[in-house]
Amino acid sequence: MPDGLRRFARNRMAVLGAIVIAIIVLVSVLAPFLYPKGAFSLAGQPLQPPSLQFPLGTDALGRDVAAGVAEGARTSLLIGIAAALSAVIFGAMIGGIAGYYRGTVDIVLMRVTEFFQTIPAFLLAMLLVVILSPSLLSVIIAIAAVSWPGIARLVRGEFVALGGREFILASLGLGASGPRIIFRHLLPNCLSAIITVGSLLVATAILLETGLAFLGLGDPNIMSWGLQISAGRVSLRTAWWVCTFPGIAILLTVLSINLVGDGLNEALNPRLRER
């Protein structure tokens, strides 16, 4: 692992991404202390342009845009990570079962996976949130429900590729049980690939979350970047800053996660680079 860390540190873009993510995490943690009144509270005159008092301006309801961006960071990171993690666990389970047991189970599970990859993901997520009624949990469920197929196919592929290798055959010969082979031998061997793809999933999950919140499908009681942008749309003509800054926050977050994901890919799967 230190070897991988060194390879990661050599990738300047990835390190830059990691630093930006660290700053965003810091801001989201400090948000309750920086803005103790919360992002929904009245802070000053409505639609003030950026100034020293309000570095990112205020919106049509006199709320501080900076407070919203800080609190939105927490929402986006929380949903992004929780949804990506659930998708990874579920996807790895499906892919693992298909790749380990093969046969009919494999065919059926992979057909289902392909099906979920074909259908319009965003629409399904929308439907799920509407049906479960918008809340933090329903958004996480909806995003996870459309994000797992990639992981499932990845894990299945890795399991199938590893399945015939000598060390697996040796463990089988020694009488190792199914779960032992899966958890002790197969999963650890494809962990680096899962981490890489999983980190990139966080980025797409955040993009999905902001899209849903923009359409009014976020938790109405929790501040988020998508909600800020959709609220700021009305005053776009007079106050460009309300929409602009939350969008830059999304862009920076997603960009940084992608950079770190690419960096992890090069650090953890060095063989891929030579291709």
Partner 1 sequence: MRRWRYFGYRLLLAVPVIFGILVLNFFLIRLAPGDAASVLAGESGAATPEYTELLRQKFGLDRPMPEQFIAYITAALRFDLGFSFRNDSPVLDLILERLGPTLLLMSTAFTMALALGTLLGLLAAVARNTWRDAAISVATLICYATPGFWLGLMLIVVFSLTLGWLPTSGFENIAEGYEGWERVQDIALHLVMPAMALGLFYLALYTRVMRASMLEQTGMDYVVTARAKGQTETRIMFGHMLRNAFLPVLTMAGVQAGNLIGGSIVVETVFGWPGVGTLAFTALQSRDLNLLLGIFFISACIVVAINLIVELLYVLLDPRIQA
Q: How far is Cα 34 from Cα 16, in angstroms, rounded to an integer?
A: 25
Q: Which of 30, 248 has the CB closer to partner 1?
A: 248
Smallest separation, CB 158 to partner 1 (Å): 19
Smallest separation, CB 112 to partner 1 (Å): 8
Which amino acid would we find at residue 211?
Answer: G
The sign of the torsion formed by the CA atoms of 33, 70, 239, 208 equals negative
Q: How far is Cα 68 from Cα 119, in angstroms, rounded to an integer?
A: 34
Q: How far is Cα 147 from Cα 30, in angstroms, rounded to an integer?
A: 30
Q: Which of 166, 275 has the CB closer to partner 1?
A: 275
Q: Which of 31, 200 has the CB closer to partner 1?
A: 200
Alpha helices in 46-135 (DSSP H): 65-101, 103-118, 121-132
Residues of this chain that bind partner 1 (CB under 8 A):
111, 115, 117-128, 130-133, 203, 207, 210-211, 214-217, 229, 233, 236-237, 240, 243-244, 246-247, 250-252, 254-255, 258-259, 275
Smallest separation, CB 261 to partner 1 (Å): 11
Backbone angles phi, psi at 64, to 5 degrees: -75, 120
The closest of 150, 164, 165 to 95, measured between CA atoms, is: 150
Q: How far is Cα 3 from Cα 274, in angstroms, rounded to an integer?
A: 17
Smallest separation, CB 210 to partner 1 (Å): 5
The sign of the torsion formed by the CA atoms of 66, 68, 72, 75 equals positive
- The conformational region for residue 175 under phi > 0 = left, psi -120 to 50 = alpha, else beta, is left
The closest of 244, 258, 209 to 76, measured between CA atoms, is: 209
Smallest separation, CB 119 to partner 1 (Å): 5
Smallest separation, CB 108 to partner 1 (Å): 11
Q: Which of 194, 203 has the CB closer to partner 1?
A: 203
Smallest separation, CB 84 to partner 1 (Å): 16
What angle do the packed helices 121-132 and 136-163 form, to 10 degrees? Answer: 140
